[in-house]
A and B are shown apart, each in its own frame.
Chain A
Amino acid sequence: MPTAKDLQSLGDREVVTLAKAGKEAAYRELLRRYERPVFSLIYRMVRDRALAEDLAQETFIKVLNALESYRPEYKFSSWVFKIANNAAIDQLRRREVDTLSLDGAPDARTADEVQATALQAADRQESPLAELESRELGSQIELAVGKLRPEYRTCILLRHVEGRSYEEIAEVMDLPLGTVKTYIHRARLELREYLAHLRT
């Protein structure tokens, strides 16, 4: 039986095959790989931490319970993001929420829990001043992204935050490739407008 370390070296398809056989370690490996990207996407879409956590849980339960229906010709990540995006869009259609906390989970009680659930910045070799500026700019960009309409927001987040290809985004959103490119172009234009105050 492969250990958790062995699983880390396997591709998504192999891990999915093991998960289909009911291996709990494989379920956990898939969760480890996708819990942060999926949660981040949903959180940035619905902008409510507790709600995002519920939706992320629903997404993974749906994904893991429906592994039998997963078709290997599609990328597993596309499938997961598609289910996550649908969950977020459905939620947005039902209600509007507009708060984005940069802190840890509200139910985090200890400092460790807060740390584990808070924003996780990538390592940057920057001076404290540059980092502060960058953080400030990042916050403004977060706010600007939050103003985009949901379809544009998904496109921009998948393309520029998650680094997904146009083709994968088209698969995730069930849209023609050209439409995805148009959405991303328009989203960038809107971001430019929202951030116009940063220009000289």
Chain B
Amino acid sequence: MDKQLDASDLDTVVLRELSRLPTFGPGRGFADHVVARVRRPQPASLVLLRRAGAWVLQPSRAVSLAAAYAVCVAVGLRLAVPWMTAHAPAFSFVSSWVTAQATAVFDAAALAVASWAVELGAADAIHSAATAGPRLWAALAALTIGYAACGYGLRVLLRAPRRKDVSLAGAL
């Protein structure tokens, strides 16, 4: 260096030069490497589900859980089967009583619907529609097309959103 510094200037020059020191840049693709290794935030429910799945699927835990399940089933059957055999007449009585009651309720309901349809004249309308031929087929076709259109509409509405700012690396 041609010009030497005075002692009093040295501090000033050092501080000035420190503030003017250049910056260094990392290599190309630095940001891409970092972004590719960043975990994206996910919904809490999904995270919990995955954690639970991972916890359960750990080999030692999975074997323990399966064994516990098998023991529970075996013990349950061991207790339940003899008890049910011992009380077979009671079970038979209860099941036939429940069946009879259900049948009676169903019969009553069917009768009520039938008498209501007769009172409204619905039976005559159905009878005349059955004899209408082409009109009935047209109505059925319209119903089918409407059903298919609704199904397609739902499929479009419920389609997963496309996230434009997610990189392929992040998605994988």
Interaction A to B: yes
| Residues in A lying within 8 Å of B, measured CB to CB | 1, 20-25, 27-28, 31-32, 35-37, 39-40, 43-44, 49, 52-53, 56-57, 60-61, 64-65, 68, 105, 107-108, 113, 116-122, 124, 133-134, 136-138, 141-142, 145, 156, 160-161, 163, 188, 191-192, 195-196, 198-200
Whole-angstrom distance between the alpha carbons of A196 and B28 in the complex? 39
Whole-angstrom distance between the alpha carbons of A74 and B94 in the complex? 71
In this complex, the interface size class of chain B, counting residues with CB under 8 Å from chain A, is 35 or more
User: Is the beta-carbon distance between B27 and A105 smaller than 8 angstroms?
Assistant: yes
- Return the chain A residue nearest B20 by Cβ: A122
Instruction: Tell me the minimal C-beta distance from B126 to chain A in angstroms.
Output: 56
From A22, A64, A120, residue with most partner B Cβ within 10 Å: A22
With an 8 A cutoff between CB atoms, is B40 at the interface?
A: yes
Q: How many A-B residue pairs have CB under 8 A?
A: 142
With an 8 A cutoff between CB atoms, is B159 at the interface?
A: no
Instruction: Tell me the minimal C-beta distance from B25 to chain A in angstroms.
Output: 5
Instruction: Tell me the minimal C-beta distance from A20 to chain B in angstroms.
Output: 6
Encode contact with A along B7-38: 1 for CB under 8 Å, 0 otherwise: 10011011101111111111110110111011
Partner of A23, one of B14, B20, B165: B165
A-B contact pairs, 7 of them (CB 8 A): A1-B164, A22-B40, A57-B30, A116-B28, A120-B25, A141-B14, A198-B10
Given A65-B39, A145-B18, A199-B5, 5 more A-B residue pairs with CB atoms under 8 Å apart are A22-B40, A24-B35, A36-B23, A36-B25, A200-B5
